[in-house]
Chain A
Amino acid sequence: MLLTRIREYFANAGVLEVETPFLSAAGTTDPAIQSFSTTYHGPGLCHGARLYLHTSPEYPMKRLLAAGTGSIYQICKVFRDGESGRRHNPEYTLLEWYRAGFDHVALMVEVESLLREVLRDILPLAPARHWTYRELFRNYAGIDPFDTSVNEIRQALQAKGIGAPPGLTEDESDGWLDLLLTHVIEPALDEGLIFVSEFPASQAALARLLPGEPPVAARFEVYLDGVELANGYHELTDAVEQRRRFEQDNTRRGARQLAAIEPDWRLLAAMRSGLPDCAGVALGIDRLLMIAGGARHINEVMAFPLELA
């Protein structure tokens, strides 16, 4: 029913449903996301070719946008190695959509109206609350994420009875912020719909940067009842900057002893030819089902989770 309502919403909004390949020659370079890969043998590639199972349909959807489709959405399975737990399964369902001409602020408004529409007689939503990343950390952890030291974060964690994880080094400042976010802030978040935006530039991923001091990423995260539900960007359209980020990702992967991933040349070529100004967001359908159904574990909303796959 949730899926039917999502499709209705986009049909009414004039957003086109698309499909892109699950198997792709390019993997994601994101150091926090690990791809599964497999090998194709057959006509055209008799010596075998490595193919990655997509971790999100982002790259090919952007190639469609560059080809002139206008606003598009997709509901598909995605695959992430190493992720299994109460809110994670290595294979799960993502709703991803792109809005031509939108920025991240306009897209946040649409995420809220879509959720309100889809959850209408299931979970009535009060108007969303908005935080910047900076205000969120100041309010819940007493830390300014743009002007802090690992030592200060360590003390804030200590005050909450959380010890330093062995192996988390001084130069992994985003790792320390993630620790605060997952251990101190997320558990304290209010019920209901919350948007967090303006992330540190080092956590921009594929979002464009907003000028300012310090510059922040035009990126937002959506929380519903304390659960991270969606992540969106005012999309980076600059191919040169995109290539630099791929390289930066691989440098970070190297520092973590992770294999480098070849940049997606086809995406870069599409961006050079012109990716229209757009905003995009990916929303976890299984987590939405969890919240709608009051499930505590993701396995409760999957017929065949990893253990039974």
Chain B
Amino acid sequence: MATYSTNEFRGGLKIMLDGDPCSIIENEFVKPGKGQAFNRVKIRNLKTGRVIERTFKSGESVEGADVMDTSLQYLYSDGEFWHFMDPSSYEQIAADATAVGDATKWLKEQDTCEVTLWNGVPLAVTPPNFVILTVTDTDPGVRGDTSGGGGKPATLETGAVVRVPLFIEIGDILRIDTRTGEYVARAKE
């Protein structure tokens, strides 16, 4: 793997730190006029998601991380692993619960997700920004109430629970924003 000098640091660059793949968020150059230059860097550990700060002497090099984002189709879960497929090569890749994390509640078979691979192994799964899901359980609908006011919880086919307007009924198909976990609108499918 390539190494990167501090001069190549920029947001999004993937580097290895303490054995973990990390992504640079922010890079600040600090230097007293007559003194040592440093790069003060904010970094996200891609395995744990934690953000840490590190300082490097300017000009030092660090090892790059073989991290790439790929669009894969979600196939199914066997309870232990979530299976994805590369739609061009039909190659299948299994992600464990740590990699899938919170995305699990938005995963619907056939949907295309962004899977971050580190040395070919899934590190993180990002669901599509919007998913279309069917309501499997909610309190009976209130006719005529087409406004938002208040709302109620509804369980979706993937198990996710979201707040929906009062008029939504079991069997309705909804469009959900996975980034906020909020109901957007009814969908036609």
Chain A residues within an 8 Å CB radius of B29: 83-86, 88
For chain A, give the interface size range: 20 to 34
Chain B's nearest CB lies how many Å from the CB of A30?
7
> How long is the Cα–Cα vector from A84 to B54 in the complex, in angstroms?
19
Say yes or no for A163: interface residue by CB 8 A criterion: yes
B38 and A203 form a contact (CB under 8 A): no
A83-B37, A165-B38 as given contacts; A178 in contact with B60, CB under 8 Å? no
B60 and A165 form a contact (CB under 8 A): yes
Say yes or no for A179: interface residue by CB 8 A criterion: yes
B38 and A182 form a contact (CB under 8 A): yes
A183 and B36 form a contact (CB under 8 A): no
* The one of B33, B34, B55 that contacts A165, using a Cβ cutoff of 8 Å: B55
A163 and B55 form a contact (CB under 8 A): yes
Chain A residues within an 8 Å CB radius of B37: 32, 82-83
A32-B35, A203-B35 as given contacts; A82 in contact with B58, CB under 8 Å? yes
B36 and A172 form a contact (CB under 8 A): yes
Query: CB within 8 Å of B: which of A164-200?
Result: 165-168, 172, 174-175, 178-179, 181-183
> How long is the Cα–Cα vector from A84 to B30 in the complex, in angstroms?
9
Say yes or no for B108: interface residue by CB 8 A criterion: no
Say yes or no for B167: interface residue by CB 8 A criterion: no
Say yes or no for B28: interface residue by CB 8 A criterion: yes
Most buried by A among B38, B53, B56, B62: B38
B36 and A179 form a contact (CB under 8 A): yes
Say yes or no for B140: interface residue by CB 8 A criterion: no
Chain A residues within an 8 Å CB radius of B32: 32, 178, 181-182, 221, 228
Chain B residues within an 8 Å CB radius of A122: none
B28 and A85 form a contact (CB under 8 A): yes
Chain B's nearest CB lies how many Å from the CB of A89?
11
A228 and B33 form a contact (CB under 8 A): yes
Say yes or no for B186: interface residue by CB 8 A criterion: no
Instruction: Give B61's nearest chain A residue, CB to CB.
Output: A167
B35 and A174 form a contact (CB under 8 A): yes
Say yes or no for B40: interface residue by CB 8 A criterion: yes
* The one of A87, A88, A168, A181 that contacts B35, using a Cβ cutoff of 8 Å: A181
Majority secondary structure, A binding face: loop
1/0 per residue B116-160: CB within 8 Å of A?
Answer: 000000000000000000000000000000000000000000000
Query: CB within 8 Å of A: which of B6-65?
Result: 7, 28-38, 40, 53-60, 62
Instruction: Give A187's nearest chain B residue, CB to CB.
Output: B30
Query: CB within 8 Å of B: which of A83-111?
Result: 83-88
Instruction: Give B55's nearest chain A residue, CB to CB.
Output: A165
Instruction: Give B29's nearest chain A residue, CB to CB.
Output: A85
B30 and A165 form a contact (CB under 8 A): no
A32-B37, A165-B38, A165-B55 as given contacts; A182 in contact with B30, CB under 8 Å? yes
* The one of B7, B28, B60 that contacts A167, using a Cβ cutoff of 8 Å: B60
Chain A residues within an 8 Å CB radius of B58: 82
Chain B's nearest CB lies how many Å from the CB of A140?
15
Chain B residues within an 8 Å CB radius of A33: 34
> How long is the Cα–Cα vector from A10 to B33 in the complex, in angstroms?
25
Say yes or no for A29: interface residue by CB 8 A criterion: no
Chain A residues within an 8 Å CB radius of B38: 165, 178-179, 182-183
Most buried by B among A161, A182, A203: A182
A32 and B55 form a contact (CB under 8 A): no
> How long is the Cα–Cα vector from A166 to B5 in the complex, in angstroms?
13
Chain B residues within an 8 Å CB radius of A268: none
> How long is the Cα–Cα vector from A82 to B57 in the complex, in angstroms?
13
Chain A residues within an 8 Å CB radius of B60: 165-167
Chain B residues within an 8 Å CB radius of A166: 56-57, 60, 62
Please report A residues at the B interface, Cβ cutoff 8 Å. 30, 32-33, 82-88, 161-163, 165-168, 172, 174-175, 178-179, 181-183, 203, 205, 221, 228, 231
List of 7 A-B pairs having minimum Cβ-Cβ separation, nearest first: A85-B29, A178-B35, A178-B36, A175-B36, A182-B30, A165-B55, A167-B60
A-B contact pairs, 13 of them (CB 8 A): A32-B35, A82-B58, A83-B31, A88-B31, A162-B55, A165-B54, A166-B57, A166-B60, A178-B38, A179-B55, A182-B40, A183-B55, A205-B34
